[in-house]
Amino acid sequence: MQWNRSTTLGIANAACTSCQGLGLVMDRSDQEIPCDCTLRAIFRACLTGFVECVALGERTASVSWEPCYGPTGGRVFSRKREEFIADFLKVTERVLTAEEYRIFRYHFLLGADYILCCQKLNMDRGSFFHELYRIEEKLGRTYAQLKPYPLYPLRDYFGGQIEKAGPLPLTPVNQRARGRLSA
């Protein structure tokens, strides 16, 4: 993902004191990096998408028939909701440490409030929320920078193009189809 004002301005927290609502801050080497509020917003957008996919559980069996761009073209069957659920959980499990994943599982997947989480994890309230914010920032960065297909933005995940090896070579047949060569 390209980190610039166009991509961060819409999701940044307007009341953020670090970035003043712009979504970018300067690091020590004078490069613009995403603000923590932006990374947390990315995580929350992906979490909302995950919750919606899980809520539509009875409809996840629907298969979409999508064009596949590349040298051979064609179409591909996919189950986008099931794939997003699996990708979200697998990426989360791989990125987080065992302790961070326990916090994530209790709070976000099982829906326990902070009181129950603090009791179960033997943490005080402040430490729990600091750890929760670090987890959200870590996952937000990972979801946005995942290669080759990031989980964020969701519109690209659910409606983006599936590419194989590369673009179609311009042969006379392809040029004629595009209207560049008259027959």
The pLDDT tens digits for 4-31 are 888 888 899 999 999 999 999 998 898 8
Does domain 5-166 fall under CATH 1.20.140? My reply is yes
Domain locations in the chain as residue ranges: 5-166
pLDDT of res. 183: 45
The better pLDDT of the pair 130, 65 is held by 130
Rounded CA-CA distance 150/87 in Å is 10
Half-sphere exposure of residue 131: CA atoms within 13 angstroms, side-chain side: 21
pLDDT at 62 over 80: no
User: What pTM, to 2 d.p., does this model score?
Assistant: 0.79
Give the chain's mean pLDDT.
Answer: 84
Q: What is the DSSP string of 123-149?
A: --HHHHHHHHHHHHHHHHHHHHH-SSS
pLDDT in tens, 35-48: 999 999 999 999 99
pLDDT band at residue 76 using 50, 70 and 90 as cut-offs: confident
pLDDT at 141 over 90: yes
Rounded CA-CA distance 104/110 in Å is 9
